[in-house]
Structure 1
């Protein structure tokens, strides 16, 4: 990329001169779509980001939220950080390093807030599973996440995996991280005082990742896998682990005034944004940066995106102690300059190569005013489908099948916090009272932190607005199924080329849908990421609003998804079974397998009340199992609940395909020994229909108007094991 004529004109006018080569390249990256959100920022004001639990909202490296006190419910002094990032283009060019460095970057965003990383989530989107190239990308991405996350000792506890043909030329790799800290350890990315030193700690700077921000702001070319390889960073998880522990020591000793990790646009991006947020400037000598390669130019030092590096603001009297800590952990350390009044100034080889107002760099990019076309409503066109064929096809679809092949490669128990493991509706982490470190002494009852993340491209391809609303409700339902009340969320808004009116119309719709649903749920969206220009020679991706949501509950003993075999089965929140509405199959896995179209079923207006009621039901003594019903409909929900225990279910009284396979969100199946208690808790909030009973024989029997489906747990397990069967 290069500066557009209009951008160059603005910059030249502001500087009253032509920019230097270093300045032009810095503007090119910091004013790119990836960094400046030029097409999306005008839309992001739709999100509500405030709440009594929100400590740091959008705009920093990560958001910070206070956990509720287990006794009073009021915000406590124990905080969690939330952050989410995309590494889409790099993961297509180099799936292993692209995904691995995505993990490294989101972990450093967590470190820069003063937090210790305690959990990772990955939401992955690929082309058709039947394609060799998809499997190559999937295997490389999973290996990259696994190797990096396992090496740094941060558990990957959840996420999502989806396949859709429109990701063939542009997969999405969205990664989220949760960190833990106490009030007194909080650090932000706003420089505090002129005269403080800027210290670079971590790996040496090389030429890898040059132009990564601008590379992420344009469509992928057909030859991207070869031509764009230099724009992909190379990760070193063992140095990252040392950086995590060094950062912990620096925070413990109160040596850091502000911090920013070096990600997009490298040192130039991190240092200029740090001082701009504090209303200050900087004086930097680029030759002081410790370098891995000889004869690097000013542009290379400024813009290289070499990994495992942090920029700290440090008081002058603390510099030697910071250097000693870096030496202890065998990390490079350079005092590269200082915070100052006035402009952001960089010198190299005795010359001033950058001298600009930091706010112009960080916030001066003009926003785009783009044309858009509203998405059209789909027509109803349903094929004839045999019930048995439908059940087998949907349950064995890679989208709804078991994801154990993926998460068994991750160490999801390191840190000893994972109370509910991957494969459930949501992961639950144990946040023990009185500790903000993994080695804290207090192991008593505390707060359970539930985490859910993902999106469904079938939903948003069918209806971007309602599909995005459904993603928010479904993630909230996942938390409630574990007895947790939603606390906050971060989003990763993935779209194609916004200069195409149809694409931008769909992107606007997912922003509106996600914002409206989170507002209805009273869940503040406290941060996020935008990734546009996800186009390739095969076409645009579906609009994909990944949401990572956290919730809290007292304690961390949550009901499982697997049946106990001892209770009645209730479908809660399903208006189709209650006879209130006709089933709509738009966006369903059934139609993805067999073709056809229909309206996407909008979430019920009472979804917020349903989520609260479900969280209460999940805590009841009589509740034996809870599972949200969404992807793949009741067919997949029931199939996933069967194990050693089975179920006898009656879904007669309406169209079998509609009842089994519609994907309206905001519903759950509950096994309970107290059906009346569930009715009482949910009365007036959502319909409750008794659909059968759990059994001890490990067989799923479903009665419908068009016949009976019968499958043993072994047969279902074989259907659902498609990833492992095809990839091992």
Structure 2
């Protein structure tokens, strides 16, 4: 670790002296791209983050939105990309642990997880190694702590071969009286380090996450990867509940990037305060740790609490009850952020300068060139079969069957549908959750692709009969110092912000992960979006057909093929599809239709297009007889991935048309009891039995099992 020359000069000017080794390391980590958002923060003002439902917006460990007058949801998302390349199991596992602790720091109880995962081409052995390790890490940690993983996404793209992405979101439940923030309240209050003992794992993790991955990262950077203990995290979850129940916590922050130094300095800086901390009081796992190691270690399952002096014994009693460590390490002050160790002052700097003093980068950007029209000539049946089996459109059952998605007894819709639905019974409401992005879209057209990502996630929520309430984003990009890479990143920020605004969905928090480059090159700009929506009750249609209704396509009949998996698999380029002019109207219409008693199935159209959506709805007991007619090419009808559309099975087509108003509706055909998909398009009829579809869509499971 080393402070850059320009940053060193700024620190010297502020302090009036040379920084100590601990100060230099602390500034280097807190001013890293990972913590300070030096390249991205100038762009993030594009997001609208306010609405009547937003209680706490960006800037805290998690956002808070009101579900009703008495119940709040916390919502956050994080990345653990570099660690998951170096050590897939621990990297992914500790990503789950970190976002759960962000939830705890708001006083909330975690109720649902969503993971969005991105890997290199599935056919590569190394991609499968990373994929299996990441899924195992997520399932192990989530299952052990008893928080269900209810939804997410998986995508394969050659740009992730040397740098996979692991983005994890968490939803929690809290109320106004229990709500805690990361803003220090009062000088004289004590700072308490609570949870696992501190070791040397994760040293320099924040700076490691702010650099390109080197070819030898899997061996050289392993010490920067934290090691998780889910059983300690489960104890921490329950202990945090007791502390909040007994009103013992004044403010809180979880220990993640930059460890104790990051969490404690940010907590007091947010309250305009300082701190006096004695590092030797920290309970330690390893002998003879020095000041820098204690300050910056990213050992997991730890929280820092602000506690009234008279409550420290009660906090220690809770720690003892749950067999967790507890150290009163210092107190909140009105002065500088000061850390001492063995009688020596090792840090003495203004907390706000540490937490918020990093200068922003002014970087050049270049927009991507528009795609030309160069469409392939393919055999429709062969192309259809290729798409059914492609890892990006095939079933992800191999992934979600490893997660305990029902623990907690709140999961009303299991993984496998367009979105998850979680029952918040105290409020009598269902919360729909969708999370993901499509690198094919944003690789083809960063701005339009990001707009499509936002619309697709909102459509997924609407398919559950819910209306979007809020969103959080995880903005992943390559090295921002390269103008073309930064241009793509700027495009996904603007596209996501524009569509979320058009959907009247505030972006209430998020995370930025840059420098996702490796020897194989930069990743595609990847704007993972997680959206929560709410509805009355916990019932919703699924994607499986009932087998006795009319099939309608709600939304535009077709679009161009730009960004589609069809072109990615068969070659060619095309312009990105033109998205609806009034996307909020489309989403609201779909939510209304999903809640009609005569609606028996709903499935959004996205990856793979209408053809794949229809195939995914077929079961052994229910089939489809459909015809796609119009002026478009047959492959556009089948494979365009224009979002903002859904296939609806209904027993009352008139009610659907009346409910959606001016939103286009096309009758596709009927469902029946045949267990067969029959689609006529361009004078050709494609026909597949449910067993054939299931066999093709089980490609991932067959390969990995």
Query: Given the two structures, how large is their TM-score scaled by the length of structure 1?
Result: 0.96
Q: Does 1:47 align with 2:47?
A: yes
Matching residue of 1:548: 530
Matching residue of 2:618: 642
Matching residue of 1:472: 454
Q: CA deviation at 1:607?
A: 1.2
Mapping for residues 424-435 of structure 1, pairs under 5 Å: 424-433=417-426
Matching residue of 1:162: 155
Q: CA deviation at 1:16?
A: 0.6
Mapping for residues 611-626 of structure 1, pairs under 5 Å: 611-626=587-602
Q: In the alignment, is the contact (CA less than 8 A) between 1:602 and 1:664 conserved in 2? A: yes
Q: Distance in 2 between matches of 1:633 and 1:392?
A: 13
Q: CA deviation at 1:211?
A: 0.1
Q: CA deviation at 1:50?
A: 0.5
Matching residue of 1:28: 28
Q: 1:112 aligns with which of 91, 101, 105?
A: 105
Shifted more, 519-528 versus 643-652: the winner is: 643-652
Q: CA deviation at 1:433?
A: 2.5
Q: CA deviation at 1:97?
A: 0.2
Q: Does 1:190 align with 2:168?
A: no
Q: Does 1:376 align with 2:330?
A: no
Matching residue of 2:690: 713
Q: Does 1:421 align with 2:414?
A: yes
Q: Does 1:145 align with 2:138?
A: yes
What is the total number of aligned residue pairs between the two structures?
A: 703
Matching residue of 1:658: 636
Q: Distance in 2 between matches of 1:293 and 1:560?
A: 52
Q: Distance in 2 between matches of 1:264 and 1:422?
A: 31
Q: CA deviation at 1:490?
A: 0.2
Q: Does 1:526 align with 2:504?
A: no
Mapping for residues 97-496 of structure 1, pairs under 5 Å: 97-433=90-426, 446-496=428-478
Matching residue of 1:439: none
Q: Distance in 1 between matches of 2:32 and 2:240?
A: 30
Mapping for residues 661-700 of structure 1, pairs under 5 Å: 661-684=639-662, 686-700=663-677
Secondary structure in 2 matching 1:635: helix
Q: Does 1:572 align with 2:548?
A: no
Q: Distance in 1 between matches of 2:160 and 2:348?
A: 42
Q: Distance in 2 between matches of 1:626 and 1:410?
A: 24
Q: Does 1:515 align with 2:497?
A: yes
Q: CA deviation at 1:656?
A: 1.1
Q: In the alignment, is the contact (CA less than 8 A) between 2:364 and 2:483 conserved in 1? A: yes
Q: In the alignment, is the contact (CA less than 8 A) between 1:262 and 1:311 conserved in 2? A: yes
Q: Distance in 2 between matches of 1:683 and 1:54?
A: 30
Secondary structure in 2 matching 1:77: coil
Secondary structure in 2 matching 1:293: coil
Q: Distance in 1 between matches of 2:683 and 2:486?
A: 43
Q: Does 1:63 align with 2:63?
A: yes
Q: Does 1:593 align with 2:569?
A: yes
Q: In the alignment, is the contact (CA less than 8 A) between 1:99 and 1:145 conserved in 2? A: yes
Q: Distance in 1 between matches of 2:411 and 2:419?
A: 11
Q: CA deviation at 1:574?
A: 1.8
Matching residue of 1:579: none
Matching residue of 2:7: 7
Q: CA deviation at 1:653?
A: 3.2
Which digits, 9 at most, give the CA deviation of each residue in 1:415-445, with x for residues without a partner? 00000000100000000136xxxxxxxxxxx
Which digits, 9 at most, give the CA deviation of each residue in 1:119-142, with x for residues without a partner? 000000000000000000000000
Q: Distance in 1 between matches of 2:394 and 2:244?
A: 43
Q: In the alignment, is the contact (CA less than 8 A) between 1:272 and 1:344 conserved in 2? A: yes
Q: Distance in 2 between matches of 1:632 and 1:538?
A: 27
Q: 1:562 aligns with which of 544, 552, 556?
A: 544
Structure 1: segments with no counterpart, 5+ residues: 69-75, 435-445, 577-582
Secondary structure in 2 matching 1:249: helix
Which digits, 9 at most, give the CA deviation of each residue in 1:659-703, with x for residues without a partner? 00001110000000110111111121x110101000111000000
Q: CA deviation at 1:602?
A: 2.9
Which digits, 9 at most, give the CA deviation of each residue in 1:456-475, with x for residues without a partner? 00000000000000000000
Q: Distance in 2 between matches of 1:246 and 1:326?
A: 7
Q: CA deviation at 1:2?
A: 1.6
Secondary structure in 1 matching 2:326: strand
Q: Over aligned residue pairs, what C-alpha RMSD do you find?
A: 0.7
Q: Distance in 1 between matches of 2:173 and 2:48?
A: 23
Q: CA deviation at 1:706?
A: 3.8
Q: In the alignment, is the contact (CA less than 8 A) between 2:557 and 2:666 conserved in 1? A: no
Q: Distance in 2 between matches of 1:706 and 1:402?
A: 29
Which digits, 9 at most, give the CA deviation of each residue in 1:293-323, with x for residues without a partner? 1111100000000000000000000000000
Q: CA deviation at 1:652?
A: 3.0
Q: Distance in 1 between matches of 2:47 and 2:630?
A: 41
Q: CA deviation at 1:168?
A: 0.1
Q: In the alignment, is the contact (CA less than 8 A) between 1:653 and 1:704 conserved in 2? A: no
Q: In the alignment, is the contact (CA less than 8 A) between 1:470 and 1:602 conserved in 2? A: no
Q: CA deviation at 1:603?
A: 1.5
Q: 1:584 aligns with which of 531, 539, 560?
A: 560
Q: In the alignment, is the contact (CA less than 8 A) between 2:557 and 2:637 conserved in 1? A: no
Q: CA deviation at 1:621?
A: 1.1
Q: Distance in 2 between matches of 1:362 and 1:356?
A: 10
Q: Distance in 2 between matches of 1:707 and 1:325?
A: 69
Matching residue of 1:38: 38
Structure 2: segments with no counterpart, 5+ residues: none
Q: CA deviation at 1:384?
A: 1.1
Q: Distance in 2 between matches of 1:544 and 1:480?
A: 23
Q: Distance in 2 between matches of 1:462 and 1:490?
A: 23
Q: CA deviation at 1:375?
A: 1.2
Secondary structure in 2 matching 1:214: helix
Secondary structure in 2 matching 1:213: helix
Q: Does 1:85 align with 2:67?
A: no
Which digits, 9 at most, give the CA deviation of each residue in 1:367-420, with x for residues without a partner? 000011011101111111100111001111100100000000000000000000
